Structure 1
């Protein structure tokens, strides 16, 4: 097992760097390099995450049925290599849109499928430390995002978008080589599925519980996305600060997330992931309440430990929590959670439009309400499990 963990760690760093090089600058790329107008840019920014959710959903269903996860990782990495390499030179809007909803969407499955692969590897060693391992790997992805965007900005300023997408393509190529050279196929389709059950009847939570959990994570992720989008404008228009001050606040949060993510992962040895996630959502409620009533930049900065704790708990433990609930379906479980972030990005767009119209403080008020709803949904999920007479067949459950 240990021989696979280092290559896995390198995979998460490479995937994180590739995503961080192009993700933050997509709108700028469409505006400056493709010269797409507001309507076409908006359509592109909606189509990209929608396609990602659909493709991840399809791959997630397939990935747990047969021992093909390594092949899926290679296919996703090669799709990312082709997609970013072509984007480095193509400037036709419709061709780029076609690449985005196909190759780029397939490349997006690298994130959930890597976590599913990691779960199977960790589960074969010490299952009690699986949550800590997943949280550590998630931290590496965050570390890549800390350094990726600033480095991409330097490359972009010096050489343009062709180089940034070209660098991302190199990262995908490295990922493919790592998987091909050092990551063998895991033993079974689902690694830790009980051997005394048929393949189509692996234990899963009741459908109502899954719905409540996914809905809860989705609204919390929506709130987090909305707050990040609103922070620069909130600081500059409502609190009298500068864009630099907003950047420092966001950087402070990102710096705090990393040790907190590792800390929450270590706490899973003593507390349940569910309890820690609920604590994290409570921190989110507290943060958005403070941010919505903040009268100065100092107050907003002082609240960043709450914000970082919320992100660390929800993002760092959400994957392992769902994997624990669906031990026979790591691919589907991981995809369900990672898709909540993408869905949150889509849902945050109209909420941000309201904040643009009525003031950016409203963004935090809406985020506060969303986190409160998410807390209620996640607490209610336990009752749905208790009320259910027995688990339903996995083959009949939606992803």
Structure 2
């Protein structure tokens, strides 16, 4: 193969990943604009009480998990992933556009399990689309490409909340949700005019069965998904407890919590990129094990901290944990279902909302006893997730006919 012909896949890959990066950034910013202020929106603009807010915060993620699971299974059967990206972005435009002007609780609850639930499928479906493109053009670099695109979401969450706070102070929630609608519209335009439909991997009857993609067994998949749910639960629990823990135990304030979160986010981005490049040469399992071990180490440091200095120093471990689990976990699940990238990605991404729901009662437990308990619980969750990943191996795959 000549240098010119070998450069063609890389060139085509770059042309595809660029618009995908823009789509990822648009979707990430749109969610980062309104999601941090959802409870404030419900309590001040909608005048919802604690019970209604709790119901909303439980029903909305459940609706998203259900919608993403259905769409994930459907997306692998036909070459329609680009159409699903367009539909998800259009649903986001509708949901945020209506929310910008409507303040009726029941209408907004209905939107959360319809329009916003469908828009939530953009996250897994974007990664599934990226996986198909990477498998087609440069399979060896698939983990690196997925990690690079995952960093775009981190960048969106670095910029989104401060921008949302500025919009809230300037024009209120109308501006927040209106801007989010514009970002979803940009994502839809990128998908319409810049992305091509990628056909599902096809296999001829004459192919050697040994060369066909191999899926992990059902129990292996479910247990691995459970492991990632356990590992993602601390991402919510630790953030919920951080400002209160700093204020009550470490004599700090809310500003210190913000600085710690910003430091962690800044460290995550280069670590995600570095782990993605390292994954070309090192097995994903080893990198995930190392990342989970960093999580255990960080939450142990946090649980035993007597001052802010320990938490500042520990952010390198925290960022390594988050970068490994959220950056490489998607590729790990996709490798277990090579013929079903939509279902695989959804199995992983559903772990975050499920973990957020699990974090709620655990946070209540920490409130009742001691905020330091939240970090011991995070340590136990990371240890349990790591143990599951070690025990569960893809040793008995099921071949696709």
TM-score > 0.5 by shorter chain = yes
Deviation track 1:17-70 (CA, whole Å, cap 9, x = no partner) reads 001001111001001110100000000001110000000000000000000001
Contact 1:285 / 1:371 at 8 angstroms: preserved in 2?
yes
Counterpart residue number, 2:390:
379
Q: Which residue of 2 aligns with 1:26?
A: 38
Say how many residue pairs are matched. 386
- In structure 1, the gaps of 5 or more residues are 395-399
Give 1:262 deviation, angstroms: 0.6
More displaced 10-residue stretch of structure 1: 77-86 or 217-226: 217-226
Cα RMSD, aligned residues only: 1.5
* 1:48 alignment partner, one of 45, 48, 60: 60
Q: Structure 2 vs 1, CA of residues 319 and 194 (structure 1 numbering), >3 Å: closer, same or farther?
A: farther
One of 244, 250, 253 as aligned partner of 2:261 = 250
- Report the Cα offset of residue 126 of structure 1: 1.2
> TM (normalized to structure 2)?
0.94
- Residue number in structure 1 paired with 2:7: none
Structure 1 293/106 Cα, relative in aligned 2: closer, same or farther at 3 Å?
Answer: same
Q: Secondary structure at the match of 1:65?
A: coil
The equivalent position to 2:92 in structure 1, one of 68, 72, 80, is: 80
How high is the TM-score relative to the length of structure 1?
0.94
Structure 2 Cα separation of the partners of residues 118 and 197 of structure 1? 26
Other-structure match for 2:148: 136
Q: Deviations over 1:142-171 (max 9, x none)?
A: 101101100110110111001100000000
Deviation at 1:202, TM superposition (A): 5.6
Counterpart among 314, 338, 355 of residue 344 in structure 1: 355
State how 1:123-272 maps to structure 2 within 5 Å: 123-186=135-198, 188-189=199-200, 191=201, 196=207, 203-272=214-283
Unaligned runs of 5+ in 2: 1-11
- Describe the superposition over 1:230-286 as per-residue Cα deviations: whole angstroms up to 9, x where unpaired: 111110111110110111111111110011111100101110111111110000000
Answer yes or no: is 1:310 the counterpart of 2:321. yes
Matching residue within 88, 105, 117 for 1:105: 117
Indicate if the aligned counterparts of 1:73 and 1:110 stay in contact, CA closer than 8 A: yes
SS at match of 2:311: helix
Q: CA deviation at 1:224?
A: 2.1
Conservation of the 8 A alpha-carbon contact between 2:221 and 2:336? no
Other-structure match for 2:377: 366
Alpha-carbon shift at residue 8 of structure 1 (Å): 0.5
User: For residue 325 of structure 1, what is the aligned residue in structure 2?
Assistant: 336
Worse-matched range after superposition: 103-112 or 318-327: 318-327
